Chain A
Amino acid sequence: MARAVSDGVAGAIPDRTVRHRLGGEDLIRYALVAVFGVVLFLFVLYPLLQVLWRSLLGNDSAFVGLANYRRYFSTPAIAASIGNSLFVSLVSMVITVVLAFVYAYGLTRTLMRWRGLFRIVAMLPLFAPSLVQALAFIYVFGNNGIFTRTTGFNVGIYGPKGIVLAEVFYCFPHALLILVAALSATDARLYDAARTLGARPLKTFLTVTLPGVKFGLVSACFVVFTLVITDFGAPKAIGGKFSVMATEIYNQVSGQQNFTMGATVSVVLLIPAVLAFLVDRLVQRRQYALVTSSSRPLSPGRRPAADWSCFAYCALIAGAITGIYLAIAIYSLVVRWPYNFTPTLRHYRFDTVGGYTPLLNSVYVAALSALLGTVLTFVGAYVVEKCRTAWSGLLYFLSVLPVSIPGMVLGLAYIFTFNAPGSPLNLLYGTLSILIVSNVIHYFTVGFLTATTALRQMDAEFENVSASLGVPFYRTFWRVTVPMALPSIVAISMYFFLNAMVTLSAVVFLVAPGTELAAVAVLLMDDAGDAAQAAAMSVCIIAIGLAVRLGYWALMRRVSRRTQAWREPAAPATLQPETEVRAT
């Protein structure tokens, strides 16, 4: 023992380790690290630095220091967007999380009827761009809304009220997924213990249920807050004169061509998004496993009062969600809502945006985003996890960074980067490729983290065993790693596809003549007063999303049937995709 501290051997041992001679395999490894690093630098770090830099320049490209920021904070019309953004985000956050919590409680902790149906209906908003919710509220409560027309009472939906309403429904499934997961992960023995100690239901709820889901609640709050503060579609459609930061960026850039002010607002918008991301990660790191292998799942008993009140509550919410999509569908299928309800398909001609081109573009971009995004996130996660280099930490950081970059900011950053005169990167500008790239980066983090989780669940010695057998790592990657991670890979591609179909913020600055996308077309048609065609396009987006999701479900069933021969009975639960949980 004494020898361990006293002999000073530590100083005599060289700091450098003996290097292995590099072989062909190592070259491939380093090449992968280099490629991944270049991709992240070029499409994440460099564009972000561009935004930061441009916020310090005047419109004549002269360095002006913080002058833009001073102007931002001293111009009341623009500065108001900060307070407005925080206000609607916080209000939407509280309402959404409370509503979703009760809904999730009903789904997981009661025996109310129609639980499966309620679960599916609540997921519907995932398939629609955020402005679709806003459009539906306009169709009902707007100046020409059916409610306003029939009752003559105008609730004043344009403004914060409408934004909050639309955001609550848009964010509802995101919060619900997290809370259902949190409420499902519990140990029935805790409830048995509470009962044997004589705790009443309220006390049990406060001392067992709530503490058990506190991390889920925190996570749901941050996700909703980030989603709302970075959302562009809903405030654009229903906000009226009420300006939030995301729409302010759009106004400055698209309306006034004031790119430097757009960059300034972008940098300010980055702050809450990055803060929310950092705090969430800190909180989640403190999370401990509530469910161990000896846990007993909670199987709720029949409580008629609770069951029926939860049923009534869930029916109300599910009804409202259904109502939104029903309104959109009907709006698109009648001659002129709310005056002439004769059925027609003429709004599906999309004559103002050139027919089906935007929809086909969207499907093409979504499919390629799914392909490229899946390959890049999975190989990237593999590179970071398995090819340990001095760069791994930095690559990991750059891979999780995109989740905190609001779509508008990313879009603007890409304008600065890819529309710079004389730059070879210009080739991408105005193509469908840049839309694919921006989708891949915008949704990069969730795909990357899903892949990382899948890789970490695999035995770390696979690569070592392969090396000892003289099998190159890429062969093991292909024969073992990829097949084992197949459920996660399919889930990642699904996530990229669905989000690429509905996103607006990341692409609104990047579409060009000939590369219009469906979600952008909805915005443009609504702006142009073609509300019915906007509704029809929304219906098409949702239908494609649902069809793909259905195909995914069928595919997953086949994948799991094919792989259940070798998968241990206990494993599949961990591989369920949780990728839809976080999206911004």
Chain B
Amino acid sequence: MSDPTPRPAAVALEGIAKKFGLFVALRGITLSIAPGEFVCFLGPSGCGKTTLLRIIAGLERQNAGVVMMGGRDVSTLAPSQRNYGIVFQSYALFPNLSVARNVAYGLETRSVAKPEIERRVDELLALVGLAAHKHKYPAQLSGGEQQRIALARALAPSPALLLLDEPLSALDARVRQSLRHEIRALQRRLGVTTIMVTHDQEEALAMADRIVVMNHGVVEQVGAPVEVYMHPRSPFVARFVGQMNFLEATAGERSGWARLGDVLMRHGASEPIAAGTRLTLAIRPEEILVGPAAQGSENRLVTRIRAIQFLGPFTRLSLALPDGTPALECDVAAGAFAALGATEGSELALSLRAEALRVFPAAG
């Protein structure tokens, strides 16, 4: 298995297309995943991310395209021939088998000796921290514990690839948080190539080496979490990953400037745009400077506070432009907001930092 010369991609997809009747679920997806990488397929429901995962698993058959695993074309192989472990949102643990038997399930049909199975089961249960529950049945465990057992079961035959289909969606928020770290740590430790499907952008940002953002059956952007968050390639990505304010504007005469109402703004795009072209400027709520920080900086705007939402660590302000149109949401750290002494209806001066001001073609 271990090849010292350039290792082939753990998973390589070439032009994967899938349709269900007239509905096109995937439109020619091409993607390469390096060995040991943790990749998240992220997108809203119906974007095709689960279909893509199931095609990789062989549980769904593509209409076109090639699936390669470790340099081997597996497109025509049945699921059982593909060497992966999979964890579903519903856990899909066998309720009539004990935790130990569940984990041993994939080992028992291989010619593995009984004591060896026993050892492997103990090892995996220790790995997911549930050695004490060995003889219990799944129904006697909590949701988070069950999902860890499902993980152990999937990993037991040492698969080359781990597939996670919304593994955390059925769990409550706190368990989800802690399991995120556990899965990530386990994956790092074992070095197993992992693909996780999720619709939760926070989960993807926290866990993935690379995020594949999908929408309507196409890949919108592939990149490291920071890259996807800081430099979204499309308004869809900008809106789906994190919060984003969009402002209608037109390109100014000078390159790198745009006209927002009657204010000229400097923005982050470097390539020249014909003057008068309609644009969409975008900035994240937490990137807007307010109060003293906004003093004396460029791209200043005076707005009026329409609503104040206290969200714990920060406060979200809904702001309207001077002409009254609701336009911006702005996050201010709770302490900083208190220092502002602002209330609903009061005026607020702010600054849209030029480096944070992204430019997209106008919508429509």
Contact = CB atoms under 8 A, between A and B. Distances in A.
B204 interface: no
A484 interface: yes
A15 B216 CA distance: 19
Contact of B76 (A12, A19, A26): A19
A566 B95 CA distance: 6
Contacts of B163: 468
Nearest to A484: B96
A176 B75 CA distance: 55
A163 to B, nearest CB: 49
Interface stretch (A224-232, A469-477, A527-535): A469-477
Contact of B64 (A13, A21, A468, A472): A13
A16 interface: yes
A26 B78 contact: yes
A23 B76 CA distance: 11
A60 interface: no
Given A20-B58, A461-B90, A3 B218 contact: yes
Contact of B59 (A9, A10, A464): A464
A464 B79 contact: yes
Nearest to B86: A468
A20 B74 CA distance: 9
B256 interface: no
Nearest to B109: A471
Given A13-B17, A14-B63, A464 B78 contact: no
Interface string B179-217: 000000000000000000000000000000000000011
Interface in A359-406: none
B95 A468 contact: no
A483 B19 CA distance: 37
Contacts, number: 132
B62 interface: yes
B306 interface: no
Interface string A13-54: 111111111010110000000000000000000000000000
Interface stretch (B22-30, B243-251, B265-273, B294-302): B22-30
B64 A568 contact: no
Nearest to A473: B80
Contact of B17 (A4, A9, A465, A480): A9
Nearest to B78: A20
B234 to A, nearest CB: 11
A20 B22 contact: no
Contacts of B90: 459, 461
A10 B78 contact: no
A470 B19 CA distance: 28
B92 A469 contact: no
B84 A21 contact: no
Interface residues of A, number: 41
A555 interface: no
Contacts of A468: 57, 79-80, 82, 84-86, 106, 154, 159, 163
Contacts of B156: 469
B160 to A, nearest CB: 12
Interface string B152-177: 01101101000100000000000000
Nearest to B79: A467
Contacts of A459: 88, 90-92
Contacts of A20: 58, 61, 76-78
Interface in A453-491: 459, 461-462, 464-472, 475, 479-480, 483-484
B137 to A, nearest CB: 4
A124 to B, nearest CB: 36
A281 interface: no
A484 B96 CA distance: 7
Contacts of A479: 94, 97
A465 to B, nearest CB: 5
Contacts of A567: 95, 139
A20 B61 CA distance: 8
Contact of A25 (B75, B78, B82): B78
Contact of A469 (B18, B97, B105, B218): B105
A1 interface: yes
A67 B191 CA distance: 80
A23 B80 contact: yes
The interface centre, meaning the residue of A16, A21, A467, A567 with most chain B CB atoms within 10 A of its CB, is: A467
Contacts of B88: 459, 461, 464-465
B27 A480 contact: no
Nearest to A470: B80
A20 B82 CA distance: 11
A177 to B, nearest CB: 28
A563 interface: yes
Contacts of A289: none
Contact of A565 (B137, B154, B159, B216): B137
Nearest to B82: A468
Nearest to B165: A461
A459 B138 CA distance: 14
A464 B75 CA distance: 17
Contact of B19 (A13, A464, A563): A13
B2 interface: no
A473 to B, nearest CB: 9
Contacts of A565: 137
Nearest to B137: A566
B76 A10 contact: no
A465 B103 CA distance: 12
B145 to A, nearest CB: 14
Given A10-B19, A18-B64, A459-B92, A23 B78 contact: yes
Contacts of B138: 566
Nearest to B75: A18
A470 B160 CA distance: 13
B63 A566 contact: no
A469 B78 contact: no
B105 A471 contact: yes
Given A472-B80, A566-B139, 4 more contacts: A25-B78, A25-B80, A468-B80, A468-B163
16 contacts: A9-B17, A9-B27, A12-B17, A14-B63, A459-B92, A464-B86, A464-B88, A465-B88, A467-B79, A468-B85, A468-B106, A469-B105, A470-B106, A475-B109, A480-B97, A565-B137
Q: Which 8 pairs, one residue from A and one from B, show the smallest C-beta to C-beta distance?
A: A469-B106, A566-B137, A17-B61, A467-B79, A461-B92, A468-B86, A568-B139, A13-B17
